Every structure is written in structure tokens, then in C-alpha cells.
Amino acid sequence: MTIFEQSLKNLQKTFKVKTNKFDNLFNKNLKIDICKIDVQGEDYNVLLGMKKNLKNGNIKLLKIELSFTIFYKGTTANFYEVLNYLKLYNYSLISISKVKYKNDKLAFMDAYFEYQK
């Protein structure tokens, strides 16, 4: 067990944090060259909040840290969910990097998705 995993198990307090959808913040049909998403297993939920921007092809390139194991309570390993969702909006997986393993199993990686016109 890593120090990081041990520190998460010892959490004593939790806080509610007000959040907002990506589409609410970027709603002027702005063009974005690259958007990095690293939200500890909540990638799919973030993408759901980007539906309008994804549908309009406003983002050229998405870099997403995808998890293949569950690191945080309430999250899931969602590689295929993300892959299939982005495919609906014409985003294709073009590259992967920073592939990490834990106990000889794929743990997470950075995946790059490009909008295909």
C-alpha cells in the first residue's frame, strides 16, 4: 500500500463543494485547442457536463487520465464508458501515454482523444 492510499484511508472529514458544469462555464461556442481532465475517476461525469461543447466539436483535443482500477470510494474504472461516449461525438482515441501498473495490472494511463470532423 502506498503512502497516498494510506492517507486516503485515514480521512476524517469530508466537505461538500459547489460545482458547475463545463458547459455552463464555456457556453459562448469558444474553440478550445486542448482540455486536460484529471479528476480521479470522475472523468465520465465531467464529460457528461461537456455534452454541448463535445457535440459542437469546440474542443480539438482531450487529454484524460483514465483509471482501470478503483482508487476512490464511489468511482469506477470507466475506460470503455469514456471511449464509447466520446465516440458518439466524433472523438477518436489517437494516443496513450504514462501507462502505470499496480501489482502487474493496468492501473491508469493518459489517453488523448481528437475531434474528427
Q: What is the pLDDT of residues 13-38, one digit of tens each?
A: 778 888 889 999 888 778 999 999 98
Going from the N-terminus, what domains does the chain have, and what CATH number goes with each?
31-115 (3.40.50.150)
- Confidence tier at 39 by pLDDT (50, 70, 90): confident
pTM over 0.85? The answer is no
The contacts of residue 18 (CB under 8 Å, 6+ apart) are none
CB of 71 within 8 A of CB of 78? Answer: no
Q: What angle do CA 68, 88, 116 make, to 5 degrees?
A: 100
Between residues 80 and 87, the one the model is more confident about: 87
Residue 62 pLDDT grade (very low, low, confident, very high; cuts 50, 70, 90): very high
